[in-house]
A and B are shown apart, each in its own frame.
Chain A
Amino acid sequence: MQGLMLIKNAGVYCQIPSQKGLGMVYIIFLESAPWNVPSIVKEPIYRHVGSTLLAAAIDVSEQCEFKGRIGLHALPQADSYYSNRCNMTDLGPDAKKSNLRYFEMTAQQAKQFRS
């Protein structure tokens, strides 16, 4: 196993005003194996495991007819990745989830990410 992702594709809805209430895929958990994380090992066995899993979540979202919409609570070290590299919308800290920042990806943002 090189990484792990757990997603939920039922009963979760978007929070961004432009797509509020629409269905989406929520990423409950996403993590690369420690031997694939550059901050842990100098030479990861596989790179970009996380990005690949994120793309897989978008694919699932599309297949569920959610048009690529996904949401997740980012761990602090990944905030900038979701914000800057994925261009996801940052809805700020969520007190219900240990103040982790909640990010959501619109259909348009998903299209850009997968292009």
Chain B
Amino acid sequence: MKLKITKEWLEKRAAQDDKAEVTAGGTTLYELARDANTLRHTPFEQEQLASAFGWLIRSRRLEMRVAIDSLARRARVDVFEIEEIENNVHFVPEPRVVQGLANVLKLPAQKLMQLAGLMSPTNSSFTDDVVLFAARAKRVDELTKEQHDVLRELVKYLAEQP
């Protein structure tokens, strides 16, 4: 593609535009990234990633004995958003929500972003590995030893990812 933008034209526009803010798009950058990432996974993989993400948040919260409303307050997010993350595999949280939860639950934020479908995985086997974790994860009201082991393994796995 050949651009015809000249120095003279730029100088002319610069004089006219002053401090004009030029921005466009019926979508945000985060939505674009999310949509692009969505295309990288099959619907099954997306559900498995979201399921693992929701399970991880819930299990880590139970492990740390933090109630939803307390977590919401500390992470500065809505209770509704945590409930959706934990229970709805089709819910896509905003990055600030994931960052807030990562801070309070002491989990790697970037890996949580990948689980939440907000960033593309840096490891090609990440999705497959998480699907295996998701298969072993069961929703419980109190962590059993088995589920605690899965949680430990998943947290360790995430921490070791590049």
Q: Are B5 and A55 in contact (CB under 8 A)?
A: yes
Distance of A46 from chain B, by nearest CB (Å): 11
B54-71 near A? 1/0 per residue, CB < 8 Å: 000000000000000000
Q: Are A37 and B3 in contact (CB under 8 A)?
A: no
- Which of the candidate stretches B17-25, B123-131, B151-159 sits at the interface with the other chain? B17-25
Specify which chain B residues have a CB less than 8 angstroms from the CB of A29 in the assembled complex.
24-25, 27, 29, 32
A98 and chain B: residue at smallest CB distance: B26
B28 and chain A: residue at smallest CB distance: A29
Query: Using a Cβ–Cβ cut-off of 8 Å, how many residues does chain B contribute to the interface with A?
Result: 22
Does A30 make an interface contact (CB < 8 A)? yes
Q: How far is the CA of A51 from the CA of B24 in the complex (A)?
A: 11
Specify which chain A residues have a CB less than 8 angstroms from the CB of B3 in the assembled complex.
55-56, 59
Q: How far is the CA of A80 from the CA of B22 in the complex (A)?
A: 10
Specify which chain A residues have a CB less than 8 angstroms from the CB of B26 in the assembled complex.
73, 94, 96-98, 100
Specify which chain B residues have a CB less than 8 angstroms from the CB of A81 in the assembled complex.
17, 20-22
Q: Are A31 and B16 in contact (CB under 8 A)?
A: no
Q: How far is the CA of A82 from the CA of B32 in the complex (A)?
A: 23
A-binding residues in B (CB < 8 A): 1-5, 9-10, 13-14, 16-17, 19-27, 29, 32
